[in-house]
Structure 1
Amino acid sequence: MACVPNSSMTLLFVEMGVGYDQHGQDVTSAAMRACKNAISSNSIPAFRRGSIPGVSFEQMKLQIKLGVPRPLHHTLDLEKVKSVFPYGRISNVEVVDGGLICSSGVEVEEMGDKNDDCYIVNAAVYVGY
């Protein structure tokens, strides 16, 4: 089933990203990297410049969907993930089964590894007003 932003937002575009935590087994770090990856190659001047008639910068809304491996949902710190976004009002964060747990190929105790697991998280960031 495809997830679309809820009707409280007029959708302008969707940014997608992927994030990894290869050492330390921290799914929050992977989710933060996925969100940073999603927003890092775009600029949104339309909101700041008033290019959308009747819409101010303060009206920018974000909805976030994260694909996280099911066994890790309970360890995800959504407040830390939200801190990645420099502006825009986050109106919804949805966490669904997704991502991946795989082997990084090596356990590096000096980097905080408990094992050789690598966590991968996918992100979709819906931007609108």
Structure 2
Amino acid sequence: MLNRAARLVARSRRASTTGATSQEWKAAGLGAQWAPPETTLNEIVFVQAGMGCDQHGTAGASKAATRACRQAIEFNALPYMETLLRDRGYERGRGDMLLKVEIGVPEDLVDSVSVEDIRAMFPYGRMLPVEVRAGGLDFQSGRVVEALGDAADRAVVAVAAVTVGF
């Protein structure tokens, strides 16, 4: 059995299946980058939670997890972040902010979450290792849609906590 750090590293190397928004950010030259391993979050500026659901949770929990991250950030703006970081000597502004993401998904789906997909949900910043752990919810959706790949009557809910700072 892999220890927690090894699982985080293995998860970070999985192939990404990003959504339309992250493709738009990529085309615009945006996208969060992985922070160096020794990076620590010292000052917290913003914390937000989000929830995401995949009503056809047969392919793991990545879709629900990315939706949770998106919900956590999509109705928020940090207009002063650029000034705050530059005033403290960070030359890249928002590009230097740190992102800490914690995800809760049903226990049997923890290893199914692609942290590359999670990273792709953020347009800028330096991403600390994404922590995925048991939490969230799964339930019967009341239907099986074989045309969508459903093999069972299962929906998956993920919760995300996104912390921004430097």
Counterpart contact for 1:24–1:114, Cα < 8 Å:
no
Aligned residue pairs total 123
Q: CA RMSD in A?
A: 1.7
Structure 1 unpaired stretches of 5+: 1-5
Query: Following the alignment from structure 2 to structure 1, what is the Cα–Cα distance between the partners of residues 81 and 111?
Result: 35
By relative contact order (CA 8 Å, sep 6+), the higher-ranking structure is 1
Structure 2 unpaired stretches of 5+: 1-38
Is residue 62 from structure 1 mapped to residue 99 from structure 2 by the alignment? yes
Percent identical: 38
Residue in structure 1 matched with residue 139 of structure 2 by the alignment: 102
Query: Following the alignment from structure 1 to structure 2, what is the Cα–Cα distance between the partners of residues 112 and 97?
Result: 24
Residue in structure 1 matched with residue 16 of structure 2 by the alignment: none
2:47 to 14, 23, 27: 14
Three-state SS of the structure 1 residue aligned to 2:155 is strand
Residue in structure 2 matched with residue 37 of structure 1 by the alignment: 71
Change (3 A) 1:51 1:81: closer
Change (3 A) 1:11 1:32: same
Task: Letter of the 2:68 partner, please give it.
Answer: A
Counterpart contact for 1:47–1:55, Cα < 8 Å:
no
The runs of at least 4 consecutive aligned structure 1 residues that moved more than 2 Å come to: 6-9
Query: Following the alignment from structure 1 to structure 2, what is the Cα–Cα distance between the partners of residues 114 and 78?
Result: 25
Q: TM-score under structure 1 normalisation? A: 0.87
Shift of 1:116: 1.2
Residue in structure 1 matched with residue 25 of structure 2 by the alignment: none
Give 1 or 2: higher strand fraction: 1
